[in-house]
Structures are given as C-alpha cells and as structure tokens.
Amino acid sequence: MEEASSSLSPPIYRLPEDTLHQIFSHLSLRQIAICKSVSKLFNQTLSSPSFTHLLSSQSLSSLHLIALRPSHHHHHSHHQRHASLDQCLHAYDTDLNLWLRFSLDFLPFQSPVPITSSLGLLYLWADSPDSSKSLIVCNPLTRQFKVLPQLGSAWSKHGSVLTGSAGKVIVLTELAALFFSGSNQWLKFSSNLPSKPRSPILVFDSIFAICDVGSPWRSQWKLFFCPLTRIGNSISWSRLERPQWTDVFDILKRPRLIPGVGNKLLMIGGLKSSFSPNTPCLTILILRLDLETLHWDEAGRMPQEMFCCFQESSKFKVFGCGSRVCFSAKRIGKLALWDCSAENGKGKWKWIENVPRNGDGLCRGFVFEAKHSALP
C-alpha cells in the first residue's frame, strides 16, 4: 500500500531534499513563503536549517507584510485555550492580496504573543517556565530565537514595546521606561510625562507620543518627543509644538500616531464635525508631519461609504507603518487599508477580507518586514 501511495504522489515529492533545496532557492522570498503553505512536506523542507543556511548566502529582497497580533481575549486566556490555537503569525501580503502564515512552532513556549517587529525580526511576549514574563526576539524564516532578560508581569500588561536598530528595545509606561541595547540587563529610567503616552512610536532614534494634558472633562492632546541620546537618569520629554499649528490637535477625536515614510509621522483620528466635546465624526483623517520642516499636511481621509461601517462602532484600532495603514472595528469582519505606496495622490482605500481569527473584529497588528536577518 505504501508503494502504491508513493507512486501516486507528484514526482516532485520523490526528489531528494538537496534537489528540492536547489529548485526552491531560485524562488523569491514571497514565492517561498507561499510554497510553505502548500503541504506539510514543503513546509518542513523549506524550514530546514540546511535550506535556511542556503538562503542566507543569497541577497533576497525583503517582504513587507501586515501582521496581526492575537486579540486581547486570546492573550489573557491562552492558558486554557493554547492547545486549540496553532502557533503561527498571520500576515497579509498587500501586493498579492493574500494571507500568509509563518510557523512559530520552533519556540519552546506556550502561545507566544507577537507584538511588534523591526528589521526582519519579530518580538513576542512569552511565559517562562517559572511563569515570569520575557520578551523573545526571533526570525520565523531562520527559526532562530533569543530570550531577553526577564520582566515583571506589570510591564507586559501596561508597557508599550518599541524596537529600533542595533537591537534596541524600549518598554514604555507613563511613569518609567526600560531600555535594552544588547547587554544582559534592562536599564530603568523614570519619565516626566504628564499622562499615559498614547501610541508611542520610534522615528530615527527619537520617541514620539501624544499625551492628554487637559482636564477630566475635556481632553487636550499634545505631541511629545524624546531623543534616545537624552536618556540618562531619566527620560527627558519635551513638548513639540509651533504657533502655526493652531487647532491641529483639536480637530481629531482620539488621535493615534503611526510611523510614516522616512522622517515623517502620521497622526490619525476621527475628524470632528465641530469643536464641542461629544461631537460626531465626519470621517477618519490622516495627517502627516514632516519632522524636518515641522509642517503638517493631509495625507488622506477615509471615503464616506467606507466610514459608514466605522461610524456605528464606539472605537476603532489603527496599525501600520510607512505608506500602509489598517483600520479595524467591532462587528465589521474585515480591515480597511489605506495604501499610499504608489504615486496616486492621497492613496488608495480598499477592504481586506478573510481576516484570520477575526473574533469580534477589533484587530491589532504591526508591519512585519520578512527577511533573513541575523539575531543581534
């Protein structure tokens, strides 16, 4: 029976592994990622250390994807449900309109939670054997990983993780921050922010965040920044503002920051119909700040027919980087994508369907640049 079954399989399945490696080594990184999903054999063959070593000697172009984070419910109930969840990273290829899966089964942790990415490396929260929290850095393509020094559970629950070049990692809260740059320990610094930082981002070795400096009855958002070179005994934040900005922070409801292209950042929120506190929003607006000229301009606004789906939701999530930004909200069942990667004026808007593990529809995510990067 085994011989008959073998004779019915496609000829490529009967080739030696070395031959398969040589064949697949001529494909692009995108094609290799797609082939891994074809069959269990292809996934094992293209994930083997020998094939990974073969690819590391080639200069394959990187693959820019939009990755999903597990939902808040999955994160806090994984002890009960991890057996039913496959360990993988779901990522969307905007060029092919296709969802890809990157296996994380090489990590010796239960239900690791991907949170961010930088320069081809993926960062995850995971429970160590003694139940303490650790940050893991790995590359799903090379199947290599490294455990960073352990952190307390308070940091994993309340801290925002920022990653940059040369293995720099910052875990940021309202009162303090932890900084890691490849040594064997985290350096802790106090913070002088007036309130909890909203959507902190890292742009060219400077941290940017928006904070509410208003009253309990009326929010007033301001932009703050801190170059990493300022980190000493504390993180010294400065307010970034100009008289000509006038009402730029008053026209948006619940603004968020996203890293833009190059030396730019994006601020995204609901466009208020008036300046009153509980005014309805007209649409979702994307503003862009040039950090060299400190000039704001409008990068895009969500089409009205698309915004109608978000209008009924009490809140929405925003994630992305550069020229691609995703929007999600409860009960919509799909993602809205703003794509300004081509020279098309204010960018294109489209729906992303078939979102994996959609749950209540409120997705979170980050941009994952897949490539064969070495661990720091």
Residue in this structure with the two tokens 């004779």, named with its chain if needed:
7
Q: What is the pLDDT of residue 60?
A: 67
Percent of the chain with pLDDT over 90: 30
Q: What is the pLDDT of residue 342?
A: 65
**Separation between Cα atoms, residue 12 and residue 172, nearest integer Å:** 50
Judge whether residue 220 has pLDDT over 70. yes
**Separation between Cα atoms, residue 129 and residue 141, nearest integer Å:** 25
Structure tokens that stand for 192 in this block: 């002088």
Count the neighbouring beta carbons within 10 Å of the beta carbon of residue 347: 18
Q: What is the pLDDT of residue 296?
A: 94
Contact assessment for residue 122 and residue 140, using Cβ atoms and an 8 Å cutoff: yes
pTM of the model: 0.85
Contact assessment for residue 266 and residue 258, using Cβ atoms and an 8 Å cutoff: yes
**Separation between Cα atoms, residue 312 and residue 306, nearest integer Å:** 12
- With cut-offs at 50, 70 and 90, classify the pLDDT of residue 1: very low
Judge whether residue 22 has pLDDT over 70. yes
Q: What is the DSSP string of 283-338?
A: EEEEEEEETTTTEEEEEEE--HHHHHHHHTSS-EEEEEETTEEEEEETTT-SEEEE
Geometric angle at alpha carbon 163, from 161 and 169, rounded to 5°: 75
Between 71 and 69, whose confidence is greater? 69
Q: Which residues contact 298 (CB under 8 A, 6 or more apart)?
A: 285, 286, 287, 288, 346
Between 374 and 225, whose confidence is greater? 225
- Mean pLDDT over residues 1-25, rounded? 67
**Which string of b and e fits 48-57 if b means at least 16 CB within 10 Å?**
eeebbeebee
Q: Name which of 29-38, 77-86, 366-375 the model is least confident about.
A: 77-86
Percent of the chain with pLDDT over 70: 88
| Model pLDDT for residues 298-346, shown as the tens digit of each residue | 999 999 999 998 887 767 899 998 889 999 988 888 999 999 876 555 6
Mean pLDDT of the chain: 82
Q: Which residues contact 17 (CB under 8 A, 6 or more apart)?
A: 45, 48, 50
Judge whether residue 71 has pLDDT over 70. no
**Separation between Cα atoms, residue 102 and residue 100, nearest integer Å:** 7
Q: What is the pLDDT of residue 268?
A: 95
Q: What is the pLDDT of residue 72?
A: 53
